[in-house]
Amino acid sequence: MASAENFWRLGHNIAKHDVDGSIALGYRKFRSFFGTSLSVCAAAYDNLSHVRPIKSRPEHLLWTLLHLKHYATEHISSALVGESEKNISEVIEWENRFHRALRGSNILVSIDGVDFRIMEPSPFNPKWYSHKFHGPGLRYELAICIQTGDIVWAYGGLPCGE
């Protein structure tokens, strides 16, 4: 069970906020880094106990929230949290599609594409245009293991219009 105080301490380490400094500033920094409050972090961590990996720790939730809030590269994220890039990003392995597969099952993955919005590159080029949101974007294709939900294959980062 994780407490709000635990997330407060971990958040301070990542945000580099002085623990003895202003509490109001600390709360604002926490929310600006992670996009939510301490109590929501504690509740989410506890509520996800039955689905999160056994070895997961509260800082892993903060890493995830930091990534979702800022979508920083692995280089930046690893510098912020003080961990190696390998620890920040999980390795995607095609062989994971067999993990917990039912015997005789021949449908192991689901493949779908997704477009992500980006800032308009300059000079203008129609190759970036996504029909999904009528603006510039990058297209990715992902394969998800049906049994586990693990991403087992990823391809992309290509302009949407190509």
Report DSSP state, residue 154.
Answer: E
Q: How confident is the model at residue 127 (pLDDT cuts 50, 70, 90)?
A: very high
| Residue type (1 letter), 121 | P
Q: For 36-78, how does the pLDDT look when each residue is reduced to its tens digit (9 = 90+)?
A: 899 999 998 888 887 777 778 898 888 888 877 777 777 777 7
Q: pLDDT value at position 90?
A: 57
Q: What percent of the chain has pLDDT over 70?
A: 88
Q: What value does the CA radius of gyration of the chain take, rounded to a whole number of Å?
A: 19
The neighbour count for residue 160, using CB atoms within 10 Å, is 23
The yes-or-no verdict on residue 96 having pLDDT over 70 is no
Q: pLDDT value at position 7?
A: 92
Is residue 127 within 8 A of residue 162, CB to CB? The reply is: yes
DSSP structure string for 76-129: HHHHHHT--HHHHSPPP-GGGGGTTPPTT----EEEEEEEEE-PPPSS--GGGE
The yes-or-no verdict on residue 92 having pLDDT over 60 is no
